[in-house]
Every structure is written in C-alpha cells, then in structure tokens.
Amino acid sequence: MKLVFLGTASCYPTAHRAVSCTALKFEDGLVWLFDCGEGSQIQVQKSSIRPSKITKIFITHLHGDHLFGISGLICTLGNQVMDRKDFVLEIYGPQGLRRYVREVLCLSRSPLPFPYRVHELIPMDDQLPRKWGTWGINQEAAGPPHPQELQGRDICAENGVWDVLQDDSVSVQAGRVKHRVPTFGYVITENPRPGKLNVEKLKELGVKPGPLYATIKRGEEITSPSGQVISPVDVIGPPILGRKITILGDTYNSDQMLDIVRNSDVIIHEATLEDAMREKAIENGHSTPSMAAEYALRADARKLILYHFSQRYKSEPTEEGKQEKKEQGEDGIQKLELEDQDDCFGEEKDVSYVSILLAEARSALECSKCSVIIAEDLMEVDVPRRHEGSL
C-alpha cells in the first residue's frame, strides 16, 4: 500500500498547496481517493496515479474544500475508462452527497461512458449541529437520476460504526468525528494473511514440496505418506495482521471512533493551526498538532501524518527558493493576490512554516514509539506490511 497526498491545504487552494485529497494505492494498482477538493483532477495528473485506476471515492464531509473537485474528476475519468465495460465508480460519503453529485452532473448535462453509485452514510441524530434546522436544506436526492446513476446503499450505524464495505482483501469502516457539519473518518483494514508455512517440519513429517503444500496452506488437512493426518495448525504459524490506515476528516474530537482506530499503522490527522491557537482551532472545528499527537498516542498508532494546514503555514523553503528570495530582496517570492488575503479564520496571517507544526507534534510524542511527519502535496508514503519492518 502507498499513500499519495494530492492536497494538504485547508479552506482554499494556493499556489503551493491544493485542498484535501488523499489517494491510497494498492499493490494491484487500484486507487481509492479520500476527499476530492477543487483541483484534485489536476493534482492526479501531476502525480504517479493513473486516473483509470481510480475505482472508489470516499468523502469525509460536505464542505467545499473536500468536495468541489468531485464532478470534474468524474468527468475526467470518463476520458480514461471509455473501453472498460465492467467499470463502475463507487462513491461514499455523508447524506446529501447523492443529491450533490446528481444535481451537478445533470444540470451541466455531463455525459458519462460509465455508471456510478453513491452510497450515503446516514448520520445519527446527535451528529447534527444544534442550529442545523435553521438552514432548511433538503438532503434527499430529488428529481430524475443521471442516466448513468445506479442505486446506491443507505448505510446506517451499528453501535456507532458504519460498515462501509468488505471484500476479499480489505474492509472499510467509518466513525463519527466532531466538526461543524456531520463528518466521518475512515478506517481501512487489510484482511489478515495466513501465517508462514513451516516447510522444515513438513519435510520431517515426510511431506515433500508439492500440491499438498498448497492444500494445507488453504486451511485443509492433509495426510503424510506414512498415513499421519496433519492439521494446518501444526505447520502454519499465526496469521499475519493486515495493515490499518485511518484517514480522518476535519475534526476537533475523534474520540467516538477511537475503538476502531486503535493500532493503526498510520493515522492521517488534520493540524490546521498551531498549539497557541488551540481555542481558535476548536471554535472552528479543527485541531492543533498536539491534539493530533495526543489522539495518536491514545490510539497506539505507529505513525502520524499531519495535513490540512492553514494558509499561514508555508512549506520549508528549498535552497533554490532561498536563493530566489535573496535575489528578490525582503519581499521574497512573488505570491498570488489570493495568498495575501486573510486566512479562513478572519485573521491577518502571520506567515510561518509547517516546521512549527511538526515540532509541536514531536514534542507531544516525545518518548513514544509513534513517529510523525508533515504531508506535502504529491508526497508518497509507503505503508509496509508489519513483518517487513517499521514505517
């Protein structure tokens, strides 16, 4: 498995960071996207991802910086999978997503060469903000469906967990996180693999390499040449746990899904503002580096990856960038007018670097086994199997 960070900014894209979109690449080449902010289709083309390999899209919540790129991406995929008759794009997200996708594709009269389905996660009543009803929006999909729209599922929670999907190799569960609108985090868990076959013991029992090895590996008993019945438990080691990746949406508190997050190989957690702005972050439904680190510790995670940064935080300048800044004088590299505006929290930006966010998270994780890194646009992170070494 490999994670590809396509967008790591909060609120709106800048010249240096796109908004939220994270890709998960599997060994067989298939790709799942988590969130799809505006411009995601451009980021996909800049990355190592082949658009034709995208088969599923998961949306954490319906704020624009996580959603506004989905219609453009769907249309882009139409140019990539025209010859695949068996292709169906599966889309998952909060209630209201089905209507959003339908309305945008229908009103723009966007033809698609493939079918799609939108599966909605139905929020629990207490997920809705207190003033939710004052803005009376009908979340139900209305009107005729798009010609290529297939019926999706309505997924309800059982004991606070949404069972999103399960196949032969992986499962996806969703849990609730606290933000300003109904928001979900996704936990992707690889199914356990059979333990290692003890070939030496089989040889000692008189079983030579051959078809019987495959039989017992499948969990079936075999009989040795001497007539001894050999059970799989006698010659196969314990199952190898699959990898677990948690991708959280915007949140200031994800405790209610902690049970399904525990022992994650990777937690991808927002860190919109630095610790000194904790009160402002929580007020707007967001987290700081220490909040993310504390959550990773409680979840016994092996690795924490921070993303979703306010525009006030720049990437560390490269040597080339430093030289360019020196040549241009104190004003530094020319910025787009958009980046000179206030950030999304109504404050003038005191420009800093993401290194302060990393330092604060490292301080909170000191003496723990959990490592932490900062996500950058187009960065790729391998998630090795547990027996292949640490992250």
Catalytic (active-site) positions: 65
Contact 50, 382 (CB under 8 A): no
Checking phi first, is residue 164 left (phi over 0); if not, alpha (psi -120 to 50) or beta? alpha
Question: Is 375 within 8 Å of 8 (Cβ atoms)?
Answer: yes
Closest CA relative to residue 342, chosen from 11, 7, 67, 9: 11
Report the C-alpha gap between 200 and 82 in whole angstroms: 51
Nearest to 67 by CA among 44, 96, 46, 90: 96
Contact yes or no for 189/173 (Cβ under 8 A): yes
Residue 340: exposed, middle, or buried by beta-carbon count in 10 A (0-12, 13-18, 19+)?
exposed
Q: Decide if 271 contacts 361 (C-beta within 8 A).
A: yes
CB neighbour burial string for 291-309, b if at least 16 within 10 angstroms, e if fewer? bbbebbeebebbbbbbbbb
Give the Cα separation of 87 and 114 in Å (integer): 6
Query: Which is nearest to 176 in space by CA: 191, 153, 189, 158?
Result: 158
123 secondary structure, DSSP code: P
CA angle 46, 50, 53 (to 5 degrees): 145
What is d(CA 355, CA 363) in angstroms, rounded to the nearest whole number?
Answer: 12
Helix (H, G, I), strand (E, B) or coil at 189: strand
